[in-house]
């Protein structure tokens, strides 16, 4: 049965778990796998790593503001793979 906000009990539990992981009020979908693909060679592979570094810096900044410890990519993503430089 849906609540007044249109979320069932399972969705509300998932939203609360997401808030505790990231330290913010954004609702994340934790019902599937979180995959990271780092594809590309040469400069494309390097730029992909810089983008990942920016994502992790932003995530960890938010976590530290909430009093949580920083996380590594292997603690966030269920599967990480790639090809060439990205691999």
Tell the burial category of 49 from Cβ atoms under 10 Å away from its Cβ (0-12, 13-18, 19+). Answer: middle
Instruction: Report the C-alpha gap between 37 and 86 in whole angstroms.
Output: 8
Tell the burial category of 24 from Cβ atoms under 10 Å away from its Cβ (0-12, 13-18, 19+). Answer: middle
Instruction: Report the C-alpha gap between 44 and 38 in whole angstroms.
Output: 10
**pLDDT tens, N- to C-terminus, the chain (87 residues):** 444 444 444 444 344 444 444 455 556 677 888 899 888 778 888 888 899 999 999 999 999 999 999 999 999 999 999 888 766
């Amino acid at each position: 049965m849906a609540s007044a906000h249109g979320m069932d009990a399972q969705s509300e539990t998932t939203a609360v778990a997401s808030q505790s992981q990231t330290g913010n009020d954004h609702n994340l979908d934790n019902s599937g796998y979180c995959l990271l693909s780092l594809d590309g060679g040469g400069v494309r592979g390097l730029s992909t790593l810089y983008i990942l570094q920016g994502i992790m810096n932003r995530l960890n900044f938010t976590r530290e503001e909430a009093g949580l410890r920083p996380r590594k990519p292997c603690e966030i993503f269920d599967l990480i793979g790639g090809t060439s430089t990205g691999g």
